[in-house]
């Protein structure tokens, strides 16, 4: 069983890294990349990553992971309900993003429920 604080830190660093990567021309995460992003989408990744790191630093890693996982369930549902390429009218998404968000929701929630918060001695 993974420690929630470690998982939150890994997720936080990963989301911040992906958010920053979206500002650099590349074929994976870009306006015309495999995963379509715009500035707002990149900022959401960075803020999400910061949320994971803040949760880890406050000793609320598991709750933070589960909370963000629930948020990603909502993002995935909204993504599949959106006919356009703009989620909430401002976040650029495509079909790959929709499925990635669904997978992330499952993975983040699983990580949150299967992780443990370290007991303070």
pLDDT in tens, the chain (121 residues): 889 999 999 999 999 999 999 999 999 999 999 999 999 999 999 999 999 999 999 999 999 999 999 999 999 999 999 999 999 999 999 999 999 999 999 999 999 999 998 866 5
C-alpha distances out from residue 27 to 7, 87, 95, 105, 107, Å: 27, 21, 16, 24, 24
Asked whether the beta carbons of 60 and 120 are under 8 A apart, the reply is: no
**The predicted structure's pLDDT at residue 80:** 97
Per-residue tokens: 109: 């929630």
Helix then strand count (H, E) for the chain reads 4, 4
* Distance between first and last Cα of the chain: 19
**The predicted structure's pLDDT at residue 100:** 97
**The predicted structure's pLDDT at residue 120:** 61
**The predicted structure's pLDDT at residue 43:** 98
* pTM for this entry: 0.93
Asked whether the beta carbons of 87 and 44 are under 8 A apart, the reply is: no
Residue ranges per structural domain of the chain: 4-114
Kindly report, residue by residue over 96-115, the tens digit of the pLDDT: 999 999 999 999 999 999 99
Distance of CA 59 to the CA centre of its chain: 19
Query: How far apart are alpha carbons 45 and 101 in whole angstroms?
Result: 12
């Amino acid at each position: 069983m993974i420690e929630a604080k470690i998982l939150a830190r890994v997720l936080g660093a990963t989301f911040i890294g992906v958010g920053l990567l979206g500002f650099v021309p590349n074929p994976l995460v870009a306006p015309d990349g495999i995963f379509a992003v715009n500035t707002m989408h990149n900022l959401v990744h960075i803020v999400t990553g910061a949320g994971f790191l803040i949760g880890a630093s406050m000793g609320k890693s598991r709750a933070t992971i589960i909370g963000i996982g629930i948020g990603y369930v909502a993002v995935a549902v909204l993504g599949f309900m959106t006919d356009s390429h703009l989620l909430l009218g401002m976040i650029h998404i495509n079909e790959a993003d929709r499925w990635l968000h669904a997978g992330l929701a499952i993975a983040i929630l699983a990580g949150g429920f299967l992780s443990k918060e370290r007991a303070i001695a």
